[in-house]
Amino acid sequence: MNGTPHVLNRILIGILGLKLMLIGIFLVLLATVPAVRHWWQRWSAGIWEHAKFLSEQTRIPGREESWLWVAALVVLIVLIVLMVAWVSQQGKGRANLIVSEYDDRRTPGDVRIGGNLAEQALKAALADRPDLAGVTVATYEVKGRPGLKIRVQPRQGVSPRTLAADVSRLVEALDVVVGRRTPVLIHIGAGARARFSKAERVR
């Protein structure tokens, strides 16, 4: 329910993991296979000579340094800025208010209800249930409208259908209190099985 691009994150992590795995395999081969080691020595020597020649051909007039180092520094700065921007986009979507609207009836004014009210109310209502191992509630903004994400961890043998119905009734009672219908995502997962399967219900 937040603004984190999960699919793109997984693709980038997969590409990074594949690269690290290939580098690790190459390092193992380099340390254990003489033919690979000899090939690397010949190849790296040629690359080093080419790099020195390129550095000499691209020197800044009147200086010993190559302008390629300046270009590499600019590229690194751009990459750092892009990484900072990328990290700043992760996890966006959290909201502080579950209700924020203008009421022009008897006493005109803004009506604002904090998301903490809904979160704490639902947590308190579910905290004493013996069939639950854990409960987390968070408020997110989806398409400009606040909604709730309720994650519950039932104990073994608890019916997900019954649990989802109970949570839905609590949310309906919350809707009566705050005076509006709130979008809700109910996530149900239990123990190690939650790593491989999950049940979700959206209202």
In the sheet with 132-142, reading across from the earlier edge strand, the strands are 132-142, 145-154, 184-188, 199-202
Question: Taking 70 as the threshold, does the pLDDT of residue 164 lie above it?
Answer: yes
Residue 175 and residue 181: Cα distance in Å, rounded?
Answer: 5
CA distances from 98 to 3, 150, 187 (A): 17, 14, 19
> Binning pLDDT at 50, 70 and 90, where does residue 61 land?
confident
Residue 29 and residue 137: Cα distance in Å, rounded?
Answer: 49
Q: Which residues contact 173 (CB under 8 A, 6 or more apart)?
A: none
Angle between helices 160-178 and 115-127 (to 10 degrees): 140
The backbone torsions φ and ψ at residue 121, rounded to the nearest 5 degrees and listed phi first, read -65, -45
Residue 110 and residue 35: Cα distance in Å, rounded?
Answer: 75
Question: What's the token pair of residue 97?
Answer: 């208010």
- What's the rounded mean pLDDT across residues 39-57? 84
Domains of the chain and CATH, by start: 6-89 (no CATH), 97-202 (3.30.300.30)
Question: Taking 80 as the threshold, does the pLDDT of residue 89 lie above it?
Answer: no
Q: What is the pLDDT of residue 28?
A: 92
Question: Taking 90 as the threshold, does the pLDDT of residue 153 lie above it?
Answer: no
Q: What is the pLDDT of residue 102?
A: 62
